[in-house]
Amino acid sequence: MTIRRISSTLCALGLLSAALPASAVDIVFDYRYDSSGFFTADRRAVLDGVARLFSDNLTDTLSAIQPGSDELFVARIYDPVDPLNSSVVVDNLTVAANQIRIFVGSYAFSGQTLGVGGPGFQSLGGSQAFINQVESRGEPGALLNPATDFAPWGGTITFGAQISWYADSDLSTVESFSGQFDLFTVAVHETAHVLGIGTADSWFAQVVGDTFTGTLATAVNGGVAPALRNDGSDAHFATTLTGHVNGSAQVPLLSPFIPLGARRYMTDLDWAALDDIGWQVASLQATIPAPVPEPGSWALLAGGLLLVGVSARRRT
């Protein structure tokens, strides 16, 4: 498995319109390794918004991981509080249907590293059917060689403890936050790495030279395979590319640089890449999570390891 890093530099605007699909991926952020108390209530609220963004827009159906007495599933992750030096075993993990569990933590990186994230990995035992089920979660393309799909059980994201973070209380608006990095922007970027951009076999199966040759991403990019950053990692789009956010031009979010005091969103090119590696993407224009219905609205509805820093690197 791989873990990815990225660098510090991002900008732009956008608005989302997305109805909750009948079947959807359920992104769950897990704070059990947050021994330092980094994730305050306002920061958790931002991650809740990130989870809703992806959960609203990815409509895959993923099978549960619940090993029986004769089956073995040992989940392993890069340590959320020391991701560059160690890994840990998540004891007795089970994963519900459609769920992707992302363990989060913080670490004082050197330099301008904002965060690191990537999918988890595992040790397996039991029948071949059980092993295939865990490795594919019911998505047959994940078992092919070359892979055409990706369905992880989860992964990890570690945020820089040394960074001054902006935790926006209202993701539908953008206020000035000069001198800080936007937690929402970085969390969305790293979640996309957990979901396979720059990390999945189905991503690397479509890398040719310094380009990503996915069909939809190529179409969105005007019929030309999008360029990747030429740093040997094949993990990020080149900063020379232009994606679009509800008609507004923006450097792809999955480029390796996020600027101080600015917000970026998933562009049509970023969402297209997720589609190309196997995800069922409802909209190429989703930027912020749909509002949580007011309490009175529920009855009405019921009735009717990569890193953000100065370089990009893959570690195996």
Q: What are the boundaries of each domain within the chain?
A: 3-293+306-315
* pTM listed for this prediction: 0.88
Distance CA 56, CA 107 (A): 29
Distance CA 29, CA 8 (A): 23
pLDDT at position 306 is 54
Alpha helices in the chain (DSSP H): 41-57, 128-136, 183-194, 201-204, 215-220, 268-276, 295-303
Side-chain-facing half-sphere of 248: CA atoms under 13 Å: 13
Q: CA-based diameter of the chain, in Å?
A: 55
pLDDT at position 308 is 53
For 105-135, b/e burial (b = at least 16 CB within 10 A) is bbbebeebbbbbbbbbbbebebeeebbebbb
Map residue 133 onto helix, strand or coil: helix
Between the CA atoms of 271, 309, 88 and 234, what dihedral angle is there, to the nearest 10 degrees?
50
pLDDT at position 290 is 84
pLDDT at position 23 is 61
> For the chain, which ranges sit under pLDDT 50?
1-21, 296-304, 309-316
Distance CA 121, CA 263 (A): 31
Taking only the tens place, the pLDDT of each residue in 12-70 is 222 223 344 456 899 999 999 999 999 999 999 999 999 999 999 999 999 999 999 99
pLDDT at position 265 is 98
